[in-house]
Structure 1
Amino acid sequence: MHEAYVLPGPLALSRSTVDRAADRRADAAWLDSLWSDDGTRVLLVGDGTVPVDGDSLRFVSPAEAPDGDRFLLGLDDDGVAFVAVHVGEKPDGGATLREVGTVLGDRDAGLAVHAIALANWHATHRFCPRCGGPTQAEQGGHVRVCELDGSQHFPRTDPAIIVLVVDEKDRCLLGRSAAWPGRRFSTLAGFVEPGETPEHAVVRELYEEVGVRVTACRYAGAQPWPFPSSLMLGYYATAAGEDPTPDGEEIAEARWFSRDELTAAMERGEVLPPSGISIARKLVEGWYGRPLPADVSRR
């Protein structure tokens, strides 16, 4: 196992500085008071976007906020409350996390991820999965309660593994999804199945997708991935350098790369590496030994 590989720097969507104030979500009177406080900062969220000005989120006051499900996002060190309102469409100036996740500061990145993840869940859980009755948001948007049977339903997160595999020659394995542009290569990934550990998922997914047998794996780090509701668990793994055999459905192409081969392929424009927002890019950079060229990723 290559113990020396570590994820360099912070992960774009794992940054946050705001206290989520989970202990105050059940305090309905306090939550109501936030909406009469001019100091409360309201973030609009809709259609997977939040309003952005340059490299910062754009907030409105409670008096300016439209109707919609209300979410408590948290409190900063000065006691300023941050909340969100889920609107039905893209707000003015709305941008996706893919567009701005790497340029927002730590506080705003955390707020945006939290708000978009909650909005994605609320949009698909309007009705009770037990009886079909309508549900309503409570506890600062972190619970939905069925109006008919009183059952509580909590935001879901789907765990997925994402893994950089290295062989005995210290080459890394990258694959191209059948749904991606022809030059985009990245690490391999897949969802953790019920009753399965993430480590078992690493072994299963690599064999299913490219026919490579993992011999060992090590957890490297994680970040939320609200597209719409995943948590990406990053791993480094080792495997024998057998020729990959892509399944042709999820993975169209897979190749082993030495550092020199990957450098040359990127310089020739034959390979586009993972985007800066993805944990995949950090996994590759941990093995590569330095940042991947920023201009290459935008071609």
Structure 2
Amino acid sequence: MSFELAGLPALSRSAVDRCEPLRGDDEKLAALWPKARMLVVDTRGRTLVADRGTRVVDRPAVEFGDQPPVHAVLLGEQDGVAYFAVLMPAEEGEAAPAGRAWGPPELTDEPQWLDLRQAGATLDDLGTGLLTTAAALFQWHRLGKYCAKCGARTVLEKSGWTSVCSGCGREEYPRTDAAVICLVHDGADQVLVARGPEWPEGRFSVLAGFVEAGESLEACVAREIDEEVGVAVHDIRYLGSQPWPFPRSLMIGFEAVADPAEPLRLAEGEIAEAKWVSRADVRRAIEEPGSVPGLGLAGGASIAFRMLQSWSGAEA
């Protein structure tokens, strides 16, 4: 039995025009600057979020100077208001997290520093689009400081959207790595979930992997599932996509059908555990987190959550 996504994946939402022609138009940018807003993002990918995780706390851009700073990036424009972002170091003396926080954060009305994994599911469309774009751009800046051709230092132009080599003049643009993510089900009421070795016990998601050179998306789905759990799939069908800037992926969602009687062969070092679970258990695990022993599911910011929620018919 096929299904459709119940709504856009969380990080696919946006409310601004990306305004590609505006990025290099200094005259128009200067005219928009007095009313522009600025998003401040720290080196951990967090920004200030208020109202129980629903709204980003932006600031008047003029607080940062009488014109766009050279290190600011243009995120887009809405109703005559341009939105920019700047990167700042994380707070000095703040203890670095020991690892990824798997549970949802305790959201408050007061501003708090949150990243996309923590707030991507609760932010409004405006805030989600702004922070997702900012996180992707700043990750690209961090990874692309030197020219891939001659090794010279690069310089950012066009509001942070173009990288120009200071040696040979080669231009680069933000890169995206294509990855497939697939919900494998039996055509009836069972779905295949798995967890990687770095995930805590009891935390599961659907299967995913990067597209290789010269490979189609559908071929990647079949290859990755066979490699990771040893299962053959058929009836591969596209569902939707979502940016995932950790650091620069585009998650392309599919569904596929497999036989639950086929034995699972887990890829050593990649899959720690995999199992078939019922539609009823998935629905209950989403609607009442913690109610199904040993079945915690992907967070609400991920396309995996939207896929499982849509397949199970759970109320988000």
Q: Please say whether Structure 1 and Structure 2 have the same fold, judged by a TM-score greater than 0.5.
A: yes
The alpha-carbon deviation at position 31 of structure 1 amounts to 3.0
Deviations 1:41-88 (A, max 9, x none): 011122211222232111222332386621111110x21111111223
Deviations 1:185-231 (A, max 9, x none): 11000011111111111000000000001122000000100111111
The reply on whether 1:248 has 2:264 as its aligned counterpart is: no
In structure 1, what is the equivalent of residue 310 of structure 2? 286
Change (3 A) 1:230 1:264: closer
CA distance in 2, matches of 1:63, 1:148: 34
Quick check: 2:183–2:191 contact (8 Å CA) kept in 1? Answer: yes
CA distance in 2, matches of 1:72, 1:90: 24
In structure 2, what is the equivalent of residue 231 of structure 1? 250
In structure 2, what is the equivalent of residue 20 of structure 1? 18
Change (3 A) 1:109 1:261: closer
Change (3 A) 1:270 1:260: same
Change (3 A) 1:154 1:81: same
Match of 2:74 among 72, 75, 82: 72
In structure 1, what is the equivalent of residue 212 of structure 2? 193
CA distance in 2, matches of 1:90, 1:205: 40
Structure 1 residue runs of 5 or longer lacking an equivalent are 293-299
Deviations 1:243-292 (A, max 9, x none): 21211311111111222454678634221011111111111122212236
CA distance in 2, matches of 1:60, 1:239: 50
Q: How many residues align?
A: 287
Change (3 A) 1:28 1:172: same
CA distance in 1, matches of 2:228, 2:284: 26
CA distance in 2, matches of 1:32, 1:88: 27
- Over the matched positions of the two proteins, sequence identity in percent amounts to 40
The reply on whether 1:51 has 2:13 as its aligned counterpart is: no
CA distance in 2, matches of 1:110, 1:84: 12
Change (3 A) 1:178 1:24: same
Quick check: 1:46–1:119 contact (8 Å CA) kept in 2? Answer: no
CA distance in 2, matches of 1:133, 1:199: 38
The alpha-carbon deviation at position 176 of structure 1 amounts to 1.5
In structure 1, what is the equivalent of residue 134 of structure 2? 115
CA distance in 2, matches of 1:264, 1:276: 15
In structure 2, what is the equivalent of residue 296 of structure 1? none
Which residue identity is paired with 1:51?
L
Quick check: 1:65–1:85 contact (8 Å CA) kept in 2? Answer: no
CA distance in 2, matches of 1:94, 1:262: 31
The reply on whether 1:84 has 2:82 as its aligned counterpart is: no
The reply on whether 1:151 has 2:170 as its aligned counterpart is: yes
CA distance in 2, matches of 1:246, 1:68: 49
TM-score relative to the length of structure 1: 0.89
CA distance in 2, matches of 1:62, 1:267: 46
Match of 1:181 among 184, 188, 200: 200
Quick check: 2:281–2:292 contact (8 Å CA) kept in 1? Answer: no
CA distance in 1, matches of 2:190, 2:83: 45
Aligned to 2:35, what secondary structure does the other structure show? coil
CA distance in 2, matches of 1:24, 1:147: 23
